[in-house]
Structure 1
Amino acid sequence: MTSTDTHTEPAPEAVAGLHHPDTRRAFRTVHRFVLAYLGLSVLTLVAAFALRDHPSVVTPAVWVRGTIVVLGAAVTLLFTVRAGRGSRGAFRRLRIIATVMLAAIVTIVVLPGVFPVWMKVEQGLCGLALLGVAVLVNGRHLRTLFARL
């Protein structure tokens, strides 16, 4: 190790913690929630495309938000996969993006008039999936594990 290298190897028991059944189960569940979030997001863009000739149902805000959510969900999936492999940075980013996107969804659902009701319902479902992610990645087991990695 050189004097400029500040990265230290995680303790063997911390690395073994990645393979613990509770850790694997938590990441499987997070992965499922994120896939549901991504799937709903893609379906939203498909629905927007199908209803594109109805400007009262598909507003410019639907296109912008729908695109942002699909991209955010794809990035969230990437962070989930990398965190599941032990990336501390990806785990930290997963915690942040789940919280930020959840807050954005809550704002969208409560704002009157900006988005059509159908999108607010879809966003509410996405919010439930992200709430599951946020609860798991901010839970004691995973936070403790990643603090040791």
Structure 2
Amino acid sequence: MNTRRTHPAGGVDDALRHPRTQQALRGTTVLVGCYAGVSALTLLAVILLRHHPDMVTDAVWVRAVIVVATSLLMASFAARTARGHRRSYLRLRLASALMLVAIAVIIALPGGFPTWLKLEQGVCGALLLGVVMIVNGRRMRAAFASR
């Protein structure tokens, strides 16, 4: 019978239990959690400022909702990665890199978004840069390479 296992028969392997890997996993989870928190607070600000069309445009609404949704997905990926799920680790690597590129584009393009949102996206970008650096680091790649 072909049953799918997310962990080796003996449980989480030594590479994932290594203290530095555990520290990297905790750091990733904290950074993604902060990203989700900042994103949720931004959506709250958008809701509160909805009657100020110079500060909250349609593009701001769309961006805020997308960022909250992706941040929650990434929080799920980070939590599952911390439990040793290789596919979630790969999803976290991909999502964090794509969102970082999207943030760089938003900040770089003139117009389109108000300055306050670009500043907020800069904060999110800094958090995601930390995630990208950790999840693409040698220790994390090695921990999930054998899985």
Structure 2 length as normaliser, TM-score? 0.93
Q: Which residue matches 2:28?
A: 30
Deviations 1:104-125 (A, max 9, x none): 0000001111000000000010
Query: 2:85 maps to what in 1?
Result: 87
Secondary structure of the equivalent of 1:52?
A: coil
> Which stretches of structure 1, 4 residues or longer, exceed 2 Å deviation after superposition?
4-14
CA RMSD of aligned residues (A): 1.9
Distance 2:15 2:46 in 1: 43
Provide the identity percentage: 46
Counterpart CA distance in 1 for 2:76 and 2:107 is: 26
What displacement does 1:7 show? Answer: 6.8
Per-residue Cα deviation, 1:47-106 (whole angstroms, up to 9, x for no partner): 111111100000000100000000000000000000110101000000000000000000
The number of residue pairs the alignment matches comes to 147
In structure 1, how many angstroms separate the alpha carbons of the residues matched to 2:87 and 2:13? 15
Of 55, 58, 61, the match for 1:60: 58
Structure 2 unaligned regions, length at least 5: none
TM-score w.r.t. length of structure 1: 0.92
One-letter code of the match for 1:40? V
Take 2:113 and 2:125, find their aligned partners in 1: how far apart are those partners? 15
